[in-house]
Chains A and B, each alone.
Chain A
Amino acid sequence: MFAPDIILAAVLNGLMTGSVYALIALGLTLVYGVLHIINFAHGATLTAAMFAVYVAHAVFKLDPYIALFIVTPLFFGLGYGVQRFVIGPASHGEDRNILLVTLGLSILIENAMLAIFRSDTRSIDVPYAFSSIDLGFTFLALPRVLAFGVALLVALLLGLLLTRTDTGKAIRAVAREKTGAALAGIDVAHIYAVTFGLGAACVAIAACLLMPTFYVTPRAGNAFVLVAFTIVVLGGMGSIPGALLGALFIGVVESLCGLFFGESLGQIGIFLIFILVLLVRPTGLFGARA
């Protein structure tokens, strides 16, 4: 057995990883809640955002935390445009087509990254990469603590956006009943695109928070998004609080499994949870639907 200190440290680390998962899962669940489809291009979007942060640092010498203010609006715009001008028109309004179009985009983006950047593992050097906070019984990496704070802040802001602004109300109206929303004068295609943009923006923020401590390859996004799928299914498709809680939970489970069973089997734990939840309770543990 491990000492309580080590387990507590693993839990804290899990919570911090979970907070980044939460951002990725928020984007996924938001799109599902409104469009009622799973965006299979979410992982590729994350990879693209990570490369964007990498390029910003390598070429323009921008710190990831500053790049956040450029990459986030950029990805919002990209997400908006892709939904409005590619996914929307290409899928003729059929769910199974949207599924396939996002899969096609995912293959396209991932391999475009491979063609441009090759399969090398790339990371960026920042002076604070190894700074840490001493808690007495353990050290917490500063970039991960920052990531935790920013992720929670973003989740809060997203919640406020959805509940307090007109756009947010329109998004929730479309999620509930798109025909009714359209009759009430809401531009559904626009709201769909805004939602997609928000999903991409969440992922862009996650990329900025990840890059100081993580590396990027053309397949980097996939690993995260498979976890994000698990979280979204666990938290209930379309539920924002579900995604948050699910993400923190999965972060901790992964960290503890890694501690007890080693890395690769830790991953298996997540997939088994995923399959079990899908088979036994596809509405999620928290059961809510947007």
Chain B
Amino acid sequence: MSTSRAFAPALVLLLLAALIPVFVTANTVLNFIVFTLIIALAAQGWNLLGGLCGQFSFGHAAFFGSGAYAAALLQARYGVNAWAAFTAAIAFAALVGWIIGYLSFRSGLRGSYFALVTLAFAEVFRILANASAFTGGAAGTLIKLDIRPENFQFASRAAFVWIALALVGFTLLLTTAITRSRLGAWFAAVRENEDAARALGVDTLAVKLKAITLSAGITGAAGALYVQYYLYLDANIAYGSWISIEALIAPIIGGIGTPLGPIVGAVTLHGLGELTKLFASGIPGIDLVIYGALLVTAIAFAPDGMMGLLKRLGRGQVTPRTTTPKTTAAKTTTPKTEGAA
């Protein structure tokens, strides 16, 4: 497959999405689109680490929140320009990712253990942000409303749609490029079998650190965009488990490890979420009940997610596969230290 053919369908989709604000001006619709795109971006970050490199994080809130707080506090406390703060926020989230990755992967944490430790980091950050005066504590942090483009604040929601689309689009191209590169091959090798990867000269620690740093930067961008759009942040939004869950479910529903998966998943999830609100409004948590059920169902019947289903429909095979080809997880999840086979 040629490079242009690999990128083409995604680009067409993005351009079509970019036209929506031209025809639709209803705030509820644009709100929905921006929010869904923010989730999609966070999920793209998760997918890079979880889908491509096989390291399942249950605490991507740690990166979302770090990006969001960095963007908010740099503006609110130090008066840094919003665009500069946005860029710095991405770098800060990436740094947090690198540090958590270095600590965890250095200790040889894998599987359930890695999931647990990421969850714990996110929770520690949440408690700290909730208790510390620097972050505004439980009252949260506000960014002063001052609608000017140089402040990353726009009168029209359409501008946010385009910025969010540009970020999602850029990440889509980046992910696609990675899957077709040497780094992508190394990600896949680490995901499928770390020992075999090392035998072939792959520095698995360095590869995993690259994955988590990129992943955290992308999810951090989603957090920074979130706070720029809503201009308010507290610890439960920034580091709450909701975003860890959304960032993880969207790629799995959409198609884990595929560049388009997180986007398809986020749209599906939030489309369904809106529908449920329509039919069962006023019942708290009902959308998450559906997310949970979807996650279990997807793993049981559609291990390749919506992308896999679409592919199978395209080939005319509608019946689900009975066996999955990935046998790597038969490996034990016992932590191993690097160097001990």
Query: Interface of A with B (CB < 8 Å)?
Result: 36-38, 40, 86, 89-97, 99-101, 103-115, 118-119, 218, 226, 229, 233, 264-265, 267-268, 271-272, 274-275, 278-280, 282-283, 289
User: 16 other contacts beyond A107-B289, A107-B295, with CB at 8 A cut-off?
Assistant: A36-B334, A90-B299, A90-B300, A91-B299, A92-B324, A97-B329, A108-B289, A111-B289, A113-B285, A115-B286, A226-B123, A264-B130, A272-B124, A278-B116, A282-B335, A283-B335
Known contacts A100-B299, A104-B292, A115-B285: does B333 contact A36 (CB below 8 Å)? yes
A107 touches B124 (CB 8 A): no
Most buried by B among A107, A113, A278: A107
CB contacts (< 8 Å) of A91 on chain B: these are 299-300
Interface residues of chain B: helix, strand, loop or mixed (majority): helix
Residues 96-109 of B, flagged 1 when their CB comes within 8 A of A and 0 if not, give: 00000001101111
Please measure, in the bound complex, the distance between the C-alpha atom of A278 and the C-alpha atom of B40, giving whole angstroms: 31
B299 touches A101 (CB 8 A): yes
Contact of B103 among A93, A119, A279 (CB under 8 A): A279
CB contacts (< 8 Å) of B329 on chain A: these are 94-97
Contact of A89 among B58, B113, B300, B303 (CB under 8 A): B300
Is B284 interfacial (CB-CB < 8 Å)? yes
B332 — nearest CB in chain A belongs to which residue? Answer: A36
Please measure, in the bound complex, the distance between the C-alpha atom of A275 and the C-alpha atom of B62, giving whole angstroms: 14
A271 touches B123 (CB 8 A): yes
Is B133 interfacial (CB-CB < 8 Å)? no
Can you name 28 A-B residue pairings with CB atoms under 8 Å?
A: A90-B296, A90-B299, A92-B324, A94-B327, A94-B330, A95-B331, A99-B111, A99-B115, A100-B56, A103-B245, A104-B295, A107-B292, A108-B288, A108-B292, A108-B296, A111-B289, A112-B289, A113-B285, A114-B288, A118-B284, A226-B123, A229-B116, A268-B128, A271-B123, A271-B127, A275-B120, A275-B121, A279-B117
B287 — nearest CB in chain A belongs to which residue? Answer: A111
Q: Shortest distance in angstroms between A203's beta carbon and chain B's nearest beta carbon?
A: 18
Is B35 interfacial (CB-CB < 8 Å)? no
Contact of A264 among B127, B291, B334 (CB under 8 A): B127
